[in-house]
């Protein structure tokens, strides 16, 4: 009796406490989800490859490289991709895509609206039906911007101003009370005062918006690295792959490391003719086409990163890394005793080359014999950076406005583009390039040297575009006649996959409810539509184990920058 009467109240209390704890936990979870953090899934590739929407994933048996490609085959609604690409559902041929590490044919440079002839090199995995991989699942800090102001280059989730029932995710580019001009792939801003009637008064000069280093590190898009050299560069007795790096006295073929046995001055240069440096995104490859069917133009990219692991045979090796673009040479000099960054204009036919403009120096002990020193040279957002073993040791900047930037990129200053009329199939956009290709090179002297992981990467490139609302004209923020002017609570966003992102540049209208209750300005995101900042990929696009079980790619769990 005594045992039963003493234990019964304890059991009743335990059940009550458990139920209370469960209710409290459930309520806290709802509150947490509603007001602190919420999970979202990425549906499309407008932010690829920063964030992946539904996609196919290919892997090269020759290089080990893996890369993602947008779905090719859609259901009858024209929007829903088939779960098996090229399978029985779609009744289309099995897909295959060209490994971007072994070919230049995905990089045709357009001259006069037509691609230049492509090299025959390339490797594609055998055609086979591809299971569609779901998009990344991300965590978003909700209502963060109620406490802290949004920062430029944050990845934000917001209600689509064109259709407020949709959630969109893009990179935040423009802030309140400023004007934006996207020129030659970069973002330029100046402070303004915007009156209630829309009148704009500039309150300062144009400056380039530079990305923080931690953000920039995540935005480099690899063009090629020697670590992905194919195992067998010959097929049927013919060579199908030739490295894009060329140089006398260099052993580069059939190797993932490059070797020069000479201590005399020598150059290793990028083959810009066979491998033009453009803003092509491998994710956007389509069946049987090298370009998006909409005929999007490819642009040359001047914001580049050169990288290599350098191992000299003896002390005293000097090295120079050079990027030639925008009518200038940008150079990093690595020598025993010092590091330096400099630039000078390219003046063909001049009696003497112009003097170098020094942008920054730092002491340096030298490249040590027998040791691999990892060097990166960045030219990005009108800044030069030299990094040694992962740390920035010297930095320099130069400052052009958008008009000067376009003068160096196209041969015509940006403020000369005042005619927005549509003529034939061409617009006098500022980004009508003359065809000059960027080029890069390494130079060495003083010791035989071996290079490892010799790589070239480019920055993301925000494209100019044509826009058809009310007649053909330049997209918002991409032309001096159609700048984005932001008021007190207005923001401007663009997707990292700029050639395939419908963002503030291309929005055509405003949801009636948004226009009536919040803001009727086309192309902007009102503050009240911001939901929060995307900060973590907690469930990267899964693959199917045993063909049925979704398993996240845990190696791609990451913070979003």
Q: How confident is the model at residue 4 (pLDDT cuts 50, 70, 90)?
A: very low
Judged against a pLDDT cut of 50, whether residue 223 lies above it is answered with yes
pLDDT tens, residue by residue, 122-135: 677 888 888 888 89
Q: How confident is the model at residue 28 (pLDDT cuts 50, 70, 90)?
A: very low
CA angle 280, 302, 463 (to 5 degrees): 50
For 264, counting Cβ atoms within 10 Å of its Cβ (0-12 exposed, 13-18 middle, 19+ buried), the class is exposed
Q: Residue 219 — φ and ψ, nearest 5°?
A: -105, 0
Average of pLDDT values for 285-298?
Answer: 56
pLDDT of residue 551: 76
Looking at per-residue pLDDT, the higher value among 425 and 499 belongs to 499
Average of pLDDT values for 443-458?
Answer: 97
Q: How confident is the model at residue 83 (pLDDT cuts 50, 70, 90)?
A: confident
DSSP three-state, residue 284: helix
Enter the pTM of the model. 0.88
| Sign of the Cα pseudo-torsion (553, 554, 559, 561, in order) | negative
DSSP three-state, residue 467: strand
Judged against a pLDDT cut of 50, whether residue 261 lies above it is answered with yes
Looking at per-residue pLDDT, the higher value among 235 and 52 belongs to 52
Q: Percent of the chain beyond pLDDT 90?
A: 55
Residue with token string 């997209």? 475
CA 489/CA 525 separation, integer angstroms: 8
Q: Count other Cβ atoms within 10 Å, centred on residue 528.
A: 12
Rg for the chain (alpha carbons), in Å?
Answer: 27
CA 183/CA 483 separation, integer angstroms: 11
Average of pLDDT values for 266-294?
Answer: 77
Average of pLDDT values for 483-490?
Answer: 95
pLDDT tens, residue by residue, 306-318: 999 999 999 999 9
pLDDT of residue 468: 62
pLDDT tens, residue by residue, 534-556: 999 998 887 766 667 777 778 88
DSSP 123-172: --PPP--EEPBPPPEEEEEETGGGTS---TT-EEEEE-TTSTTSEEEEEE
pLDDT of residue 420: 53
Judged against a pLDDT cut of 60, whether residue 474 lies above it is answered with yes
Q: How confident is the model at residue 157 (pLDDT cuts 50, 70, 90)?
A: very high
Q: How confident is the model at residue 226 (pLDDT cuts 50, 70, 90)?
A: very high
Q: Which contiguous run of DSSP H or E holds residue 204?
A: none
CA 377/CA 178 separation, integer angstroms: 31
Query: CB-based contacts of 112: which residues, under 8 Å, 6+ apart?
Result: none
Cα-Cα-Cα-Cα dihedral of 174, 169, 520, 528, to 10°? -90
pLDDT of residue 6: 45
Q: How confident is the model at residue 182 (pLDDT cuts 50, 70, 90)?
A: very high
């Amino acid at each position: 009796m005594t045992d039963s009467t003493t234990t019964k109240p304890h059991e009743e209390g335990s059940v009550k406490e458990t139920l209370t704890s469960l209710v409290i936990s459930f309520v806290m979870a709802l509150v947490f989800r509603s007001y602190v953090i919420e999970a979202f899934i990425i549906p499309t590739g407008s932010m690829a490859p920063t964030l992946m929407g539904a996609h196919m994933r290919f892997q090269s048996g020759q290089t080990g490289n893996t890369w993602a490609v947008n779905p090719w085959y859609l259901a009858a609604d024209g929007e829903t991709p088939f779960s098996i690409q090229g399978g029985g559902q779609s009744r289309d041929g099995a897909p295959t895509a060209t490994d971007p590490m072994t070919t230049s044919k995905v990089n045709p440079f357009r001259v006069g609206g037509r691609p230049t002839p492509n090299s025959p090199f390339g490797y594609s995995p055998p055609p086979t039906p591809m299971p569609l991989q779901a998009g990344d699942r991300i965590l978003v800090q909700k209502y963060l911007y109620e406490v802290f102001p949004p920062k430029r280059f944050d990845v934000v989730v917001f209600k689509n101003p064109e259709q407020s029932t949709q959630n969109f995710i893009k990179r935040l580019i423009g802030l309140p009370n400023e004007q934006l001009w996207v020129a030659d792939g970069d973002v330029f801003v100046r402070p303004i005062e915007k009156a209630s009637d829309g009148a704009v008064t500039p309150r300062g000069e144009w400056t380039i918006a530079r990305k923080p280093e931690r953000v920039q590190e995540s935005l480099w898009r690899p063009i090629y690295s020697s670590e992905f050299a194919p195992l067998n560069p010959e097929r049927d007795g013919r060579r199908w792959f030739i490295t894009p790096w060329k140089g006398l006295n260099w052993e580069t073929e059939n190797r993932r490391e490059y070797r020069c046995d000479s201590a005399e001055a020598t150059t290793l240069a990028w083959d810009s003719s066979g491998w033009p440096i453009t803003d092509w995104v491998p994710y956007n490859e389509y069946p049987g086409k090298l370009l998006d069917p909409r005929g999007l133009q490819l642009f040359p990219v001047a914001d580049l990163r050169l990288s290599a692991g350098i191992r000299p045979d003896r002390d005293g090796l000097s090295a120079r890394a050079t990027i030639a673009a925008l009518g200038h040479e940008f150079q990093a000099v690595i020598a025993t005793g010092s590091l330096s960054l400099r630039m000078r204009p390219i003046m063909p036919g001049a009696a003497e080359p112009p003097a170098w403009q020094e942008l920054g120096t730092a002491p340096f002990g030298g490249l040590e014999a027998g040791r691999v020193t990892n060097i990166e040279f960045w030219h990005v957002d009108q800044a030069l950076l030299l990094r040694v073993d992962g740390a920035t040791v010297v930095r320099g900047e130069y400052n052009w406005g958008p008009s000067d930037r376009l003068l160096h990129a196209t041969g015509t200053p940006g403020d000369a583009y005042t005619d927005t009329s549509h003529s034939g199939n061409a617009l006098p956009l500022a980004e009508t390039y003359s065809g000059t290709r960027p080029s890069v090179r390494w130079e060495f002297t003083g010791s035989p040297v071996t290079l490892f992981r010799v790589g070239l990467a480019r920055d993301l490139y925000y494209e100019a575009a044509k826009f058809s609302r009310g007649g053909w004209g330049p997209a918002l923020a991409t032309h001096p006649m159609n700048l984005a002017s932001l008021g007190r609570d207005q923001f401007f966003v663009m997707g990292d996959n700029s050639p395939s992102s419908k963002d503030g540049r291309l929005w055509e209208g405003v949801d009636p409810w948004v226009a009536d209750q919040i803001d009727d300005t086309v192309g902007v995101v009102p503050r009240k539509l911001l939901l929060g900042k995307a900060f973590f990929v907690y469930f990267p696009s899964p693959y199917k184990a045993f063909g049925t079980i979704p398993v996240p790619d845990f190696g791609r769990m990451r913070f979003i920058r």
